[in-house]
Amino acid sequence: MQDQIHHRIIDRMKVTALLPDKLVEEVKAHAKGQTLTESLTLALEEWLRLRKLAKLTSEVQDRPLEFSKGFTASRIRKLNRQS
């Protein structure tokens, strides 16, 4: 039980932030969380996903994926169907 309590304390951070009311209302409306905390959590998680996707997109643009010699879609399909 003590480990669970300790984990919960470490897993969360209480934050005080001064945010414009209009921004908070928009986040609540779009995130559709049941509480402000849930709405802000959903919004921040989505923002992080978008940032990670943008980074990955940039990396692929800088160094495009290359297929191995002899690669064909039909050959890969056959391999996948064997599994």
Task: Kindly report the number of other CB atoms within 10 A of residue 28's CB atom.
Answer: 17
pLDDT tens for the 83 residues of the chain, in order: 555 555 555 678 888 999 999 999 999 999 999 999 999 999 999 999 999 999 999 999 999 888 888 889 998 899 899 86
Whether 77 maps to a domain, the answer reads yes
Instruction: Count the domains in the chain.
Output: 1
Q: Which range marks the domain in which residue 44 is found?
A: 22-82
Residue 17 within any structural domain of the chain: no
Q: Tell how far CA 53 is from the center of its chain.
A: 8
The answer to the question of residue 11 being in a domain is no
CB contact set of 24 (below 8 Å; sequence gap of 6+): 36
27 falls within a domain: yes
DSSP state, 20?
-
pTM of the shown model: 0.65
Q: Is residue 43 part of a domain?
A: yes
12 belongs to a structural domain: no
Instruction: Tell me whether residue 15 is in a domain.
Output: no
User: 20: which residues sit within 8 A by CB, 6+ positions away?
Assistant: none
Q: For residue 32, how far is the Cα from the chain centroid?
A: 17
